[in-house]
Structure 1
Amino acid sequence: MYSLILNVKRSTELQKLCSLVYSAFSSVSAATLSRKGQNFTVSYLVNSLGFTTKLAESISKKVIFDENTNPDSVLTLFKSYGFTESQISNIITDHPNLLLQDAESSLAPKLKFLHSMKGASTSEFTEIVTTVPKLLSKKGDKTLSVYYDFIRDVIQDDKCNHSSLLPQGNLENKIRNVTALRELGVPRKLLFHLLVSSYQPVCGRERFQESVKKVVEKGFDPRTSKFVQALHVVYQLSDKTVEEKIDVYKSLGFNEEDVWDMFKKWPNSLKFSGKKVTQMFEILKKCGLLDEEVVVLLKKNPQFLRVSEENIVNSVETFLGLGFSKGEFALMIKRYPVCIGFSAETVKKKTEFLVEEMSWGLDAVVSHPQVFSYSMEKRMVPRCNVIKALISRGLIKSELPSVCSVLACTDKVFLRRYVSKHDDKELVAELMGIFTRVHKAGLKQ
């Protein structure tokens, strides 16, 4: 009996081990396939649509494919309807999911219907679809027709009077409310995004009117994207919920005016739960900031609320690992809060360049943490190479100029300060050559 139990136990343990191995293998395989698909997607977007690598990488986070048959069919279909390469690129940039749709069964019928609509020229048709590619995600000829007519009228700056033609319900509400926003001065691009999206702010009547009134009273400019962001937030929150959120901020040392100032800078600041706001407050205190310093920091930069605890911890570890003290890290946050958001690679690369290659101390970086936002190729390397050339010629004999005087100024000021001021024309030409050669190389990358 004992032998039987032992065998069963061993068999169970073996099954668990096999399951763990299979799970680990599956995870690795899935990750490998995902990377392969992302690499293929980036390559395809760069080679077929002329996207920059940076843009292609951004899009590959939204859509991934590992073969070109379907994307090729989609691009061919657009070309057959008269879309230019530039228009196709804009469409895919705005709505990359179209590359995953079936060209014949999904996209072709919609394009055929819209192209055949009475009075639509090819140029008008391609302009409308390029302006609002998400239109192609809508279903039903009647719905497509109503959206298309409305968009065409807005583009042509005609009056939008379709109320007698509209189907009852959500679509009528959306077009009526989008028309009201148009009259307030909301830009076309923002209008169309609201029209074709599934978001709620342009649905209903009373709630919409009440929300718009509140946003206008807070002083938001309808011509800006912040107006639409604020409308989203206000529409979603009841008065009671807003009061509860304000009370949380008050408990942390803010006053009500502070909360609304933060809202105007970044409307999403009111979307976060009281727990999230309190948690962020405590995390920033652990970075070495006092209560009143955290209040000042968040008042100036409410976007900090969206930074995860993990990112902040990683940032602290990165800076401390490079030799900065906790006090210096806190000082940098106060001087330039967004330095928390830079990747470990960026922070290491730029710190090592300034300290090891240029011999500036860590205190120089602490005094001007904005250096982490400067481009290595376009600003830091060209300017620092000029400074090194001046040092090698004995033209800078004492201590190095400050990081701020070298990197914070414009190109024009830098050249006047360190290049054109010299009387030796050959030297000026040589320094300009150093600056321009590296600068142009950086721009091409």
Structure 2
Amino acid sequence: PQGDTNASLPSPLSNNSRQAAAVPHSLAAGRPAAMLRLRSSILAHLLLSPATSPPLSPLHRLLSAAAPAISTPTTGFAVEEYLVSTCGLTRAQALKASAKLSHLRSPAKPDAVLAFLAGIGLSAGDVAALVAKDPLFLCASVERTLAPVTAGLSGLGLSRSDISRLVSVTAGLFRHRSIVSNVQYCLPLLGSFENLLHAVRHGSSLVGSDLERVVKPNVALLQESGLGVCDIAKLCLNRPRLLSRNLERVQAALASAEALGVPRGSGMFRYAIEAVASFTEEKITARVDYLKKTFRWSDADVSIAVCKNPYLIVKSKESLQCRSEFLISEVGLEPAYLAQRPAMVCYSLEGRMRPRYHVVKFLKENGLLKRDPSYYTVFKESEKYFVDKFICPHKEAAPHLAEDYAAACGGEVPARFRFT
């Protein structure tokens, strides 16, 4: 728009301002919904419209003009009550949050922040969650921080919806202008905004870490170890905190992965890093010892197994024990056989292996198999393959087999699957 911005604003703004200034303090403190909606709409237009240039000066004038309508006496602002009635926090949340906002003497700045959040599309529930997580967000400067950050992210191609979701998951990190350069770097690294959002939502501080001293050196180290950009993206999605750790901890994770017997540059190295990223060297050693004891593996066996499937390291002791009892004691597989095929140790026991074992055992007991199948094949193949291979050919000889198999997958043991 050309000319003076104030002159182009709808006339109801000045009318509402005069009306709000004239009502009693108790009503002014409530900030009528129509006033907030109007200010939110104007703020959103100023912040996000590409035709507005520059947005900051009109925004400053707007907030200054609106200030009389939202001001309260400097000694009468009840922060806790404001957090409950205006921000939607519970009384307990408001009590905790108000300790960080005790310096506020007026709702002017919080009102501007709430109008900004409404303008970029945050719901009342999102706003309440954000304020409860980061009360100081209400003290951020819309003009000096939030508006420039929003404009910067919009310039990277993020939509208003993208920005509102990013605000919700980053909270206080959004109050720092460095978030724009971090997002600009991480978007191509992770491949998409959805991947970035996933990483941040699951604990990554990528958008708040120092790019030059933390993130970029970690990425360079991983690339030197043979990981490509796609590998780093997948690694970050599964271990979102890895790239925001200090360089020494990432180096330690690489060394631990290599110590498992997985060479750098191999296709399994990324999985090995994922497996050990959250463990100390002592814990990794203890896990390897437990695998040897539980599956009766020699040093060579456990080295083969872990090198082929590093995720064995992260399986719970209870899970490993149950699979050992089933695969070795019940099915009768040899420990060395399992070491060469460690994926079997990671399949679902109750939802996959046990029901399929019941079917194969039934077929063998009733002479319906010409030869014993490989249990590795039985357990690893897709559901469609298993049904086509072991159930469909026996519809006439065993008409209830499909029904019994479905029951076994649901946790039952049908009478026809019980053998003495």
State the TM-score, normalizing by the size of structure 2. 0.58
CA gap 1:213/1:428 in 2 versus in 1, 3 angstroms: same
| Matching residue's letter, 1:433 | E
Which of 233, 258, 277 aligns to 2:206? It is 233
Which of 163, 170, 175 aligns to 1:203? It is 175
**Distance in 2 of aligned mates of 1:357 and 1:282:** 37
How far apart are residue 306 of structure 1 and its match?
A: 2.5
How far apart are residue 315 of structure 1 and its match?
A: 1.9
CA gap 1:436/1:217 in 2 versus in 1, 3 angstroms: closer
Which of 351, 355, 374 aligns to 1:378? It is 351
Report what 1:214 is aligned to: 185
**Distance in 2 of aligned mates of 1:193 and 1:175:** 16
Report what 1:441 is aligned to: 411
**Distance in 2 of aligned mates of 1:217 and 1:241:** 17
How far apart are residue 107 of structure 1 and its match?
A: 8.5
Report what 2:279 is aligned to: 307
CA gap 1:364/1:209 in 2 versus in 1, 3 angstroms: same
How far apart are residue 238 of structure 1 and its match?
A: 4.5
CA gap 1:435/1:181 in 2 versus in 1, 3 angstroms: farther
How far apart are residue 342 of structure 1 and its match?
A: 0.1
**Distance in 2 of aligned mates of 1:403 and 1:189:** 50
How far apart are residue 240 of structure 1 and its match?
A: 4.7
Report what 2:248 is aligned to: 275
Which of 320, 327, 333 aligns to 2:300? It is 327
Report what 1:347 is aligned to: 320
CA gap 1:355/1:187 in 2 versus in 1, 3 angstroms: farther
| Matching residue's letter, 2:303 | A
**Distance in 1 of aligned mates of 2:314 and 2:181:** 36
**Distance in 1 of aligned mates of 2:228 and 2:95:** 40
| Alignment size in residue pairs | 303
Q: What is the RMSD computed on CA atoms of the aligned residues?
A: 4.2
Q: Which runs of 5+ in 2 are unaligned?
A: 1-77, 102-106, 124-136, 413-420
**Distance in 1 of aligned mates of 2:166 and 2:211:** 24
The within-5 A match list for 1:145-294 is 145-146=111-112, 148-155=114-121, 169-170=140-141, 173-174=145-146, 176-178=148-150, 180-181=152-153, 184-185=158-159, 187=162, 190-194=165-169, 197-198=171-172, 200=173, 202-205=174-177, 207-218=178-189, 220-224=191-195, 225-226=197-198, 228=200, 232-233=205-206, 235-241=208-214, 245=218, 254=225, 258=227, 260-267=229-236, 268-287=241-260, 289=261, 291-292=263-264
Q: Kindly provide the CA deviation profile for residues 111-158 of structure 1, in whole angstroms up to 9, marking residues without a partner as x.
A: 43347xxxxxxxxxxxxx89xxx999754666664555444444489x
Which of 244, 258, 268 aligns to 1:297? It is 268
Identity %: 16
The within-5 A match list for 1:23-172 is 110-114=83-87, 139=98, 145-146=111-112, 148-155=114-121, 169-170=140-141
Q: Quick check: 1:174–1:203 contact (8 Å CA) kept in 2?
A: yes
How far apart are residue 346 of structure 1 and its match?
A: 0.7
Q: Kindly provide the CA deviation profile for residues 95-119 of structure 1, in whole angstroms up to 9, marking residues without a partner as x.
A: xxxxxxxxxx99986443347xxxx
Tell which has more relative contact order, 1 or 2 (C-alpha 8 A, sep 6+): 2
**Distance in 1 of aligned mates of 2:254 and 2:151:** 41
Q: Kindly provide the CA deviation profile for residues 280-318 of structure 1, in whole angstroms up to 9, marking residues without a partner as x.
A: 34434444x16447x653335542323332432222112
Q: Kindly provide the CA deviation profile for residues 379-429 of structure 1, in whole angstroms up to 9, marking residues without a partner as x.
A: 222111111111211223643x2233222233332222111112525x131
Which of 432, 438, 442 aligns to 2:402? It is 432
| Matching residue's letter, 1:266 | L
Which of 408, 418, 421 aligns to 2:393? It is 421
**Distance in 2 of aligned mates of 1:259 and 1:356:** 42
CA gap 1:189/1:412 in 2 versus in 1, 3 angstroms: farther
CA gap 1:384/1:215 in 2 versus in 1, 3 angstroms: same
SS in 2 for 1:384: helix
CA gap 1:326/1:278 in 2 versus in 1, 3 angstroms: farther
How far apart are residue 349 of structure 1 and its match?
A: 0.7
**Distance in 1 of aligned mates of 2:278 and 2:374:** 34
Q: Quick check: 1:336–1:369 contact (8 Å CA) kept in 2?
A: yes
Q: Which runs of 5+ in 1 are unaligned?
A: 1-104, 116-128, 158-165
**Residue 366, structure 1, aligned to residue 336, structure 2:** no
Q: Quick check: 1:211–1:235 contact (8 Å CA) kept in 2?
A: yes
How far apart are residue 347 of structure 1 and its match?
A: 0.9
How far apart are residue 434 of structure 1 and its match?
A: 2.4
Q: Give the number of the structure whose alpha-carbon radius of gyration is greater.
A: 2
CA gap 1:156/1:237 in 2 versus in 1, 3 angstroms: closer
How far apart are residue 363 of structure 1 and its match?
A: 3.6
| Matching residue's letter, 1:420 | C
CA gap 1:381/1:227 in 2 versus in 1, 3 angstroms: closer
**Residue 409, structure 1, aligned to residue 375, structure 2:** no
**Distance in 2 of aligned mates of 1:375 and 1:355:** 16
How far apart are residue 221 of structure 1 and its match?
A: 0.9
